[in-house]
Chain A
């Protein structure tokens, strides 16, 4: 397990960014004059440097994305599963928070009673995260651990996760409805700091995500359980032989991943000032891009990858219309697999 991010890694990340910029410019020239209109429709207030602002937005988006993708990476590392239902865990967090916090009447599927819960947002968020963590526990207890016990192949498990994703996505739409919902009606105060604007809610999201990510890092590097998690990630058989309860660790990873994803979903809903039942489904591929970019199964790689993806997604809107920003990130994913399939932080033996 390599923890330090050495200079070569940063160089590679920079290289990827440069290549991405070139790719974007090529697409832009192909797209022709339509690209120029994209410049105009982003309104910026005086005193705000758009490049700095977009870069900063990218860092924020990257941090929030990292919350979700660290869990995806941990699950991949410990079980080998590419979990396609992870996006729905993000949506689930946001939807649960909305369900608990909204002043609108809500209902539970198949029960024709409407009621209002209307908890304060912070309490709703905490309960939502706990419930989402519980959903991770339930999933592992009743689905994934059974499949592992039956020695079902990883590919089969992946298709099961696709089925789960389809089921959860439509369940959420059935439950909350197809409309965009808001977690908080509060209007964000905006402050001018140097060349960028920063809203108060965004600032809080940054603090929360940085603290949580540092916490995850501390857990993985310094605590016994975290070391055990990394051991399982490196070599499950060897970890089991040295007395680590592999199944318990994997269950812990599922709970952690689901709660982190829920937190990511809630913060993302605040940052975007709105959320929808398919928010996670749209983020899923960005998460995969981040995780693959950083190196499949490397939790710190997921962090680096998320930041790169976040920055690329947001700064690409300077050249391209905002409707192409996700496409750029996916293009980078394909490019990375072409030149360095093990990712920035990955080791070659993971590929093959």
Chain B
């Protein structure tokens, strides 16, 4: 019974919302346009840094968000400029390399004053102004079966803001994918040359998709960092791969796929850990080994998904985003 509550709690947690947002961004890249962005964690990390550093230096929240968005947009343009004219896997290699570079730069001692090197930026340094806006009381609040703090870190306030953002972005994706603009992107995904022969500037459309998805990734980074802290190593390659897994799990190129995928992903992680610690004796699988064990399962899940059900839970096989 406790496990069930844990599951439901995980389903509405801010982390789940953050990953749903990141996956919506990736859905613009991969689902809509067919771009292989393997550096979504880099966009998230830039968003975190942009927001946290601006707010820490005394900037207001709106400026922090603008800086985060600007960072992600500039990063997207720089990445897309050389690679969007090349074949898909070049973009994959460049985005993954660039995301890692951001992480290495962020944790470098040379930039200690700015980014706090490998320890990152403590939550207390930048969360204050956001938490002051909270309409919830500054204590533990129980709504239904769940108890979160009203304002601090993983709070009802952040749950509200996170899921509102998710809702807005789902709406944005839905409107844009139905618009003429979205149809051009889908055309690029299916057959780039055909779209080009219709006189569309494919390069520019791809760039717009890359930037929009990246900006949503940056927003995801802000939501994540408000629930925890800015930690460069938490945004390594595994994070990008998780975002991919949950997008493919929910179904790429669908409106609710990323949200459902995120909820399923985090709930099943909790479920696997809960079941494993309940039923497998610690002599066989110690609590220290539980984490790598469940993450190894994530990898296997990703493989099986791509091989056996590439359209995910919600996807439509006809609208399959894989093409070369």
Residues of A bordering B, CB below 8 Å: 31-32, 34-35, 37-38, 82, 109-112, 147, 152-156, 158-160, 162-171, 173-174, 177, 281, 285, 288-289, 292, 320-321, 323-324, 326-327, 330-331, 333-334, 337-338, 341, 351-352
Contacts and interface: CB of A to CB of B under 8 A. Distances in A.
Secondary structure call for the A interface: helix
Nearest to A282: B100
Interface stretch (B16-24, B177-185, B214-222, B297-305): B297-305
A154 B89 contact: yes
A337 B80 CA distance: 11
Contacts of B100: 285, 326-327, 330
A144 to B, nearest CB: 11
Nearest to B301: A163
A331 B324 CA distance: 26
A266 to B, nearest CB: 22
B299 A153 contact: no
Nearest to B303: A163
Interface of B: 36, 38, 81-83, 86-90, 92-94, 96-98, 100-101, 104-105, 107-113, 237-238, 241, 244-245, 248, 283-285, 288-289, 292-293, 295-307, 310, 322-324
Nearest to A152: B307
B93 A82 contact: yes
Contact of B93 (A153, A155, A292, A321): A292
Contacts of B113: 34
B299 A324 contact: no
Candidate in A156, A163, A333 with the most chain B CB atoms within 10 angstroms: A163
11 contacts: A34-B109, A38-B110, A82-B89, A155-B89, A159-B244, A165-B299, A167-B303, A292-B90, A327-B100, A330-B97, A330-B100
Contact of B92 (A34, A110, A158, A173): A158
Candidate in B38, B104, B248 with the most chain A CB atoms within 10 angstroms: B104
A327 B104 contact: yes
A330 B98 contact: yes
Nearest to B245: A163
A337 B302 contact: no
B71 to A, nearest CB: 16
Contacts of A338: 81-82
Candidate in B113, B283, B297, B322 with the most chain A CB atoms within 10 angstroms: B322
A327 B86 contact: no
A31 B38 CA distance: 27
A170 B322 contact: no
Contacts of B306: 156, 159-160, 163
Contact of B299 (A38, A163, A281, A285): A163
Contacts, number: 158
B32 to A, nearest CB: 15
A164 B310 contact: no
A324 B107 CA distance: 9
B289 A327 contact: no
B244 A323 contact: no
A323 B244 CA distance: 28
A173 B292 contact: yes
B257 to A, nearest CB: 16
Nearest to A32: B110
Contacts of A153: 322-324
Given A147-B307, A156-B306, A341 B324 contact: no
B82 A334 contact: yes
A158 B89 contact: yes
A79 B124 CA distance: 50
B101 A331 contact: yes
Contacts of A281: 237
Contact of B324 (A155, A164, A177, A323): A155
Contacts of A159: 244, 248, 302, 306
Contacts of A326: 100, 104
B98 A334 contact: yes
Given A154-B324, A323-B107, 9 more contacts: A31-B111, A160-B306, A164-B303, A165-B241, A324-B110, A334-B101, A337-B82, A337-B90, A351-B86
Contacts of A32: 110
A321 B89 contact: no
B89 A167 contact: no
A222 B86 CA distance: 34
Contact of B289 (A155, A158, A174): A174
A323 B90 contact: no
B323 A166 contact: no
B289 to A, nearest CB: 5
Given A82-B92, A155-B36, A160 B299 contact: no
Contact of A321 (B83, B90, B109, B237): B109
Given A330-B98, A337-B90, A167 B248 contact: no
Nearest to A177: B288
Given A154-B324, A326-B104, A166 B93 contact: no
A255 to B, nearest CB: 21
A170 B295 contact: yes
B323 A155 contact: yes
A170 B173 CA distance: 34
A35 B300 contact: no
A112 B310 contact: no
Contacts of A341: 82, 86, 90
Contacts of B285: 110
A333 B284 CA distance: 43
A331 B97 CA distance: 8
B108 A327 contact: yes
Contacts of B300: 163, 167
Which 4 pairs across A and B sit closest by C-beta, in order of nearness?
A: A167-B299, A166-B299, A163-B302, A163-B303
